[in-house]
Chains A and B, each alone.
Chain A
Amino acid sequence: MNTHQENQDGTGPAEDSLARLIRMAGRRQEPPPEAREQVFAIASAAWQGKIRRRQRRRVSYAVAATVALVAVLIGVLQIGQGRYGVPALDIAVTDLVAGTVEVKGTADATWRAIQGSGAALTEGTRIRTAEKSGLGLRLASGDSFRLNEQTELLFESSAQIHLLAGTVYLDSGSDDSAAELEIRTPAGRVRHIGTQFELKYTREALRLRIREGQVVLSYPVGEVQAQQGDELSIGRDGRLFMSTVDPYGSEWEWVQALAPMPGGDRRSLASLLNWVERETGREVHFARPDLEARAAETMLHGNSRRMVPMEALSVMLETTDFYYTVTGENEILIEEGGH
């Protein structure tokens, strides 16, 4: 470690002044790892999008050339034109926008606000929610995906989301045919196996709460498969902590506020109860066994107003002979009569 010694080995005064200049400038500043991670995620998405577009264009040219050749061979002088461009893939559609939500595409210079439902989001899009805001999305796979306030993420592709900061929730439905989706953060990656879960990432920690199903969490020192009711946390030091979480309660209120309403003008009371059960984490019980069969036969008539699950239950039961009582912490009891 002796530069002086090496200077004496024949490098001379010119070397001295150069060494002094560089030494005085000191070590160059390293960018913060979070900045590298974020820019890498977005640059990778831009690069992958570019590669896909080039490949599609190449395929389109090949198809176009083949079509042209066939056209000549069969003597057709005019064939369909102008459909070679393939649009970017939509990977999500907005379902509920609450407060201020902004998006930014890979080619956009600025953020732009989105409002209302039905806006399509393409790969490479970044989304951020402001304070006291939230966003409910329907992914191309049909899964419900929600962003809590002060959350920012990047849709890298239909199978990969990069959570930059904040809290998200995924409900992939109750069947086993869940599409593969990975959510990445600098602290770890989450892959679900048919589930409802919440993932929160801040600079200090990553927190994963599983409400239903199973999730695989990969983090720098290993991989863990977590089950319904597990809560996992990874701190800045990379240590993993496990505890439990109830599937119901005030912790899940933000999720319910962004829940998609069950579809269709006419639906059965049973399907409404399934939805309420799934969104609130509470268990639905019937006072008598025959009420369950009657709930399946009772059709509800459309109410397009957006409501949180318990409000929807109250409003919709008003039109039937049923009523409900919340018993204990997590049970909804359905009974007959009484209006």
Chain B
Amino acid sequence: MAEVVHADKALARRILAGDERAFKSMFDEYFPRLYRFALVRLDGDEESAREVVQQTFCKAIEKLDTYRGEAALYAWFCRICRNSLIDYCRRRNQEYRRVVLIDDNSEVQAVLEALSAAGSEGPEAQATQRDVRRLVQSVMDYLPQHYGDVLEWKYVEGMTVKEIADRTGSGAKAVESLLTRARGAFREAMAVIGDASTPSRASTATGGIEKL
């Protein structure tokens, strides 16, 4: 985490110094993730998501010299995005959908159980599975981009290690090591949710989910 923050502080400094490549790489990395972050909280309204993300970038750029590296830069953008969402919904007299995707312990349990109910087609099962999808995708977006990408290539697209190595221009060993780290980070993030089923840790876990 300290390494990420250190790199993020350097990235922010380069952006503020007028480095166009740094700005573009930050935008390309954060835009899709923030867009999905906003989209899921706006019930799939694409136009509103665009508007909110646009506002987020403008605000974040304006405040970028106040970024001190207390958190990862993407998490800092997410915080601004969340505030932009609240402002946006307030202006439109719309209720902000506080997206704690799974917001209490019994639901977490239900969701995990739903995973083993593959093939269920009832509306409730479908809704639960949709929530799981959103949650997993949010976790993937919250991970460093190359972690989310490599997990998606491996498990959604079904690419082999060699194919991923060819795609990224790195060696098989490096890809395996990246996959190991990505799986670890993913498990760690998901564990926060799993921990929510333990009552004594419920509040921490809910906070963790909200951060996602």
Contact = CB atoms under 8 A, between A and B. Distances in A.
Contacts of B132: 21, 24-25
A26 B15 contact: no
Contacts of B154: 3, 19
B71 interface: no
Contacts of B115: 17, 20-21, 24
Q: Chain A at the B interface: mostly helix, strand, loop or mixed?
A: helix
Which 6 A-B pairs give the minimum distances between C-beta atoms? A25-B136, A43-B57, A22-B155, A31-B35, A35-B50, A46-B58
Contacts of B148: 28
Contacts of A54: 16, 65
A276 to B, nearest CB: 42
Interface residues of A, number: 40
Nearest to A55: B18
Interface in B96-152: 115, 118, 129, 132-133, 135-137, 140-141, 148, 151-152
A18 B133 contact: no
B133 A25 contact: yes
Contacts of B53: 35, 39
Interface string B158-192: 11110100000000000000000001001100100
A43 B159 CA distance: 34
Contact of A31 (B31, B61, B156): B31
Given A14-B187, A22-B140, A47-B15, 9 more contacts: A1-B158, A3-B155, A25-B132, A35-B49, A39-B50, A39-B53, A39-B57, A44-B23, A47-B23
A43 B140 contact: no
Interface stretch (A104-112, A113-121, A255-263, A323-331): A104-112
B46 interface: yes
A36 B151 CA distance: 24
Contact of A43 (B39, B49, B54): B54
Q: Chain B at the A interface: mostly helix, strand, loop or mixed?
A: helix
A2 interface: yes
B23 A42 contact: no
Contacts, number: 119
Nearest to A5: B160
A29 interface: yes
B31 A36 contact: yes
Interface in A26-73: 26-32, 35-36, 38-40, 42-44, 46-47, 50-51, 54-55
A132 interface: no
B36 interface: yes
Most buried by A among B55, B151, B186: B55
B21 interface: no
Contacts of B57: 39, 42-43, 46
Contact of B32 (A19, A28, A38): A28
Interface in B58-81: 58, 61-62, 64-65
